[in-house]
């Protein structure tokens, strides 16, 4: 045995070439974790010689943040400092922008981080061991059942209507005495339809006032119909409404992970308590402030995406392809068993799209060149989607 081997043995290691006879108990996660689905992120496009690659799988803003944000990124030097934990400066700016008290805003690492704070505060296991229930549409944002399960709650999925929209009557019927939270995703990711103000008002009238109704508006800025719900308007009238928004989509700050919730202070006091310390970086806060202060430029970028969305939808209409109405920066193709073949076709032409098993394909509205290529591939594909 060499001196090095002897040193390893003294440190508790087995020398090379010696087989250990010791048995080590297997490390096991919480039982709930083994039952949860895994989050599948959008993949980057496959490199194809002679073609520029485009990622249409993650609903990112292809035009990026406004110049003022890029200036913040270039000048930031405080990587050695902890961020201000309450995001006070950003909340003041957001409060003025939204017309709400700054105390009604709680920041998080994206709108998902804000949701996790809410679930951590209000969802878990009752004294008798029964899990709290969270009602949500399905298919909807795929992180919902994961976050609910990790909080200790029980996910209660309610199937969408055939057109991909929430079945609000069925969701209201699914509420029980164990329900603590209902999640409304509008526009719904990944299927696209939005909820109207009238629909949500009727839903709120049918749900007990001690059930929190979360309106997830990650794609709110891309909407153009006047009758669609605005969660910030509703939270002013309904104490049990919580609104989630993000800087990841319209503002182009997906990589900085910053979002927020808006709710009454009888709710936000607990959200602050459940928020992980330092979860929103100083850089993200400064970038978000710059983006809000230059919101007119954000709107110009968003309108470019909306214009491209309308061009893509018109192209699909011309092909006779059907799809759910979308007010978001993506479109859902209900391709069913043909989903894998369409995703493979896109991969072969340096486009990445997001496939959801054998259910369908979600395609982000991207750069004009990417959108044109997508429509060309649709024209070649022999199996159009159905509703």
Whether the Cβ atoms of residue 259 and residue 248 lie closer than 8 Å to each other? yes
Pairing of strands 179-185, 212-216: parallel
| pTM beyond 0.85, yes or no | yes
Residues 21, 32: Cα–Cα separation, whole Å: 32
What order of strands is seen across the sheet that includes strand 54-56?
54-56, 351-356, 360-364, 330-333
Whether the Cβ atoms of residue 66 and residue 290 lie closer than 8 Å to each other? yes
Residues 320, 271: Cα–Cα separation, whole Å: 47
Pairing of strands 241-246, 154-159: unpaired
Least Cα distance to 187 among 328, 305, 307, 299 occurs for 328
Residues carrying CATH 3.90.1150.10, the chain: 41-59+296-380
Tokens of 259: 């979002």
Residues 352, 300: Cα–Cα separation, whole Å: 26
Whether the Cβ atoms of residue 340 and residue 383 lie closer than 8 Å to each other? no
Instruction: Give Cα 381 to chain centroid, integer Å.
Output: 29
What pLDDT is recorded for position 40?
86
Classified by CATH at the fold level, domain 41-59+296-380 comes out as: 3.90.1150
Helix (H, G, I), strand (E, B) or coil at 333: strand
CA angle 119, 100, 281 (to 5 degrees): 55
Bridge partners of 214, per DSSP, are 183, 242
What pLDDT is recorded for position 33?
83
What pLDDT is recorded for position 16?
54
Q: Determine if the peptide bond prior to 219 is cis (ω within 30°).
A: no
Residues carrying CATH 3.40.640.10, the chain: 67-76+83-293
Q: Is it true that domain 67-76+83-293 has CATH number 3.40.640.10? A: yes
What pLDDT is recorded for position 9?
40
What pLDDT is recorded for position 127?
86
- Separate counts of helices (H) and strands (E) for the chain: 14, 11
Residues 257, 310: Cα–Cα separation, whole Å: 28
Residue pLDDT tens, the chain, 387 long:
444 444 444 444 554 555 555 566 788 888 888 888 888 888 888 899 999 999 999 999 999 999 999 999 999 999 999 999 999 999 999 999 999 999 999 999 999 999 999 999 999 998 898 999 999 999 999 999 999 999 999 999 999 999 999 999 999 999 999 999 999 999 999 999 999 999 999 999 999 999 999 999 999 999 999 999 999 999 999 999 999 999 999 999 999 999 999 999 999 999 999 999 999 999 999 999 999 999 999 999 999 999 999 999 999 999 999 999 999 999 999 999 999 999 999 999 999 999 999 999 999 999 999 999 999 999 999 999 998
Pairing of strands 330-333, 154-159: unpaired
What pLDDT is recorded for position 344?
98
């Amino acid at each position: 045995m060499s001196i090095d081997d002897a040193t390893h043995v003294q440190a508790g290691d087995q020398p090379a070439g010696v087989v250990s006879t010791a048995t080590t108990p297997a490390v096991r996660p919480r039982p709930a974790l083994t039952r949860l689905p895994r989050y599948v992120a959008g993949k980057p496009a496959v490199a194809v010689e002679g073609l520029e690659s485009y990622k249409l799988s993650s609903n990112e803003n292809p035009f990026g943040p406004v110049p003022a944000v890029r200036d913040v990124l270039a000048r930031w030097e405080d990587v050695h400092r902890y961020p201000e934990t309450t995001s006070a400066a950003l909340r003041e700016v957001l409060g003025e922008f939204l017309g709400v008290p700054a105390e009604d805003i709680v920041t998080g690492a994206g709108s998902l981080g804000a949701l996790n704070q809410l679930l951590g505060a209000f969802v878990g296991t009752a004294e008798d061991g029964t899990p709290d229930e969270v009602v949500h549409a399905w298919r909807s944002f795929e992180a919902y059942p994961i976050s609910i399960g990790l909080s200790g709650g029980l996910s209660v999925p309610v199937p969408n209507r055939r057109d991909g929209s929430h079945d609000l009557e069925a969701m209201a019927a699914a509420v029980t005495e164990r329900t603590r939270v209902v999640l409304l995703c509008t526009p719904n990711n990944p299927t696209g339809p939005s909820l109207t103000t009238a629909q949500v008002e009727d839903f709120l009238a049918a749900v007990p006032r001690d059930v929190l109704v979360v309106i997830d508006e990650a794609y709110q800025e891309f909407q153009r119909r006047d009758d669609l719900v605005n969660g910030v308007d509703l939270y002013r009238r309904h104490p049990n409404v919580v609104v989630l928004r993000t800087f990841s989509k319209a503002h182009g700050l997906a990589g900085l992970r910053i979002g927020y919730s808006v709710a009454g202070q009888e709710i936000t006091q607990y959200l602050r308590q459940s928020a992980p310390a330092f979860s929103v970086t100083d850089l993200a806060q400064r970038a978000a402030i710059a983006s809000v202060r230059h919101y007119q430029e954000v709107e110009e970028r968003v309108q470019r995406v909306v214009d491209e969305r309308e061009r893509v939808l018109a192209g699909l209409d011309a092909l006779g392809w059907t799809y759910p109405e979308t007010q978001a920066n993506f479109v859902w193709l209900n391709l069913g068993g043909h989903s894998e073949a369409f995703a493979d076709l896109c991969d072969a032409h340096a486009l990445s799209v997001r496939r959801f098993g054998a259910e369908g394909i979600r395609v982000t509205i991207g750069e004009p060149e990417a959108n044109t290529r997508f429509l060309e591939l649709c024209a070649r594909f022999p199996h159009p989607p159905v509703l």
